[in-house]
Structures are given as C-alpha cells and as structure tokens.
Amino acid sequence: MQIRQATATEMDLLYMMGFDTWGCEMPQADYLAACRHSQKYAAGQWYVLAEAGIPVASLILYRNQFGLKDGQAGIGSIATSPSHRRQGFAGRLILGIVRHLFTATATTTVFLHSDINTVFYQKLGFERICLENNCMFITRTPDTPLRTIPTYF
C-alpha cells in the first residue's frame, strides 16, 4: 500500500469512485464532465491509496480556502472504488494523510464535512463540532479552541 499524490491520468478513475454517491442519477459522461470542470476539484490536491500501483481510495486536500486558516487543512471527496469498499482503505488513507500533515507540516487541525454517518470518522479520531453541523475535526493540539469553522468543501 502506498499513499501518494494522484496523477492527471488517474482523475477519471478517482471521480468514478464516487459516481454512485454523487452522480445524482445523471449519465456517467455528464458526471465526468462536471467533475473535470469543477473549480472546487481543481482547487485542491488529490491523494490516493494505491494497491499494486492502482488507486483504491482517494481524497482531496484543501488549504487556505473555504475559510481554512494557517495551520488548518480540509479533506473531502473521500471515496473508495466499489470493489474495495468495507476493507478499511479509506480509513488508512485518511489516517495516513492526517499523520503526514501533523508530522511533516505546520498543520495543527484537519477538518472534514461528513456526508455519511459520523461514527466512521469518530472511530478515526475526528470529533463533531456541534450537532447542527456536519463539520468534524481532528487536532494535534487538543487544548487549543477552534476559532472558526470552514465552509463546506
């Protein structure tokens, strides 16, 4: 298993990992076109967990946008290929990215917006900010209060 930045040639594969969830019953070609032209998707850096060189899970990492301040990062569009789901790949990717951010960068807090049951992310160490909001976070400085909540990404 390897965590690495996604390549440009892998993007359609990564987009299709979330088609059944985010495709909104649109034709596959329309969904791919929307993803390819998404300013939000272009604004972040995509990462993958690869098995034998093939991406099995992906996510996008954001910094300095959507209300994220210095020392904060946001992850989103977390997806696993349908044939690899429920095997822990997304969790490994998320924790690997968080570990890298906390040890190799000045990042102190990572946010995500939970579109699924928050229990999955809580098992990985994320906390809900409040019951009315789907924003969650994990921090390496637990005694530092959150001053801002980023917008949805």
Tens-level pLDDT at each residue, the chain (153 residues) = 899 999 999 999 999 999 988 888 899 999 999 999 999 999 999 999 999 999 999 999 999 999 999 999 999 999 999 999 999 999 999 999 999 999 999 999 999 998 778 899 999 999 988 767 789 999 998 877 777 788 888
CB 139 within 8 A of CB 72: no
The whole-angstrom separation of Cα 114 and Cα 76 is 9
- What are the tokens at 36? 């390819």
Q: Choose which CATH entry (3.30.2000.20, 3.40.50.720, 3.80.10.10, 3.40.630.30) describes domain 2-139.
A: 3.40.630.30
| Pairing assessment for the beta strands 72-80 and 109-113 based on DSSP bridges | parallel
Question: What is the torsional sign of CA 98, 109, 125, 45?
Answer: negative
Instruction: Please state the domain extents for the chain.
Output: 2-139
Helix/strand/coil for 38: coil
Q: From residue 142, give the alpha-carbon distance in Å to each of 19, 96, 100, 105, 127.
A: 36, 19, 18, 17, 11
Q: What is the pLDDT of residue 120?
A: 92
0.95 exceeded by the pTM?
A: no
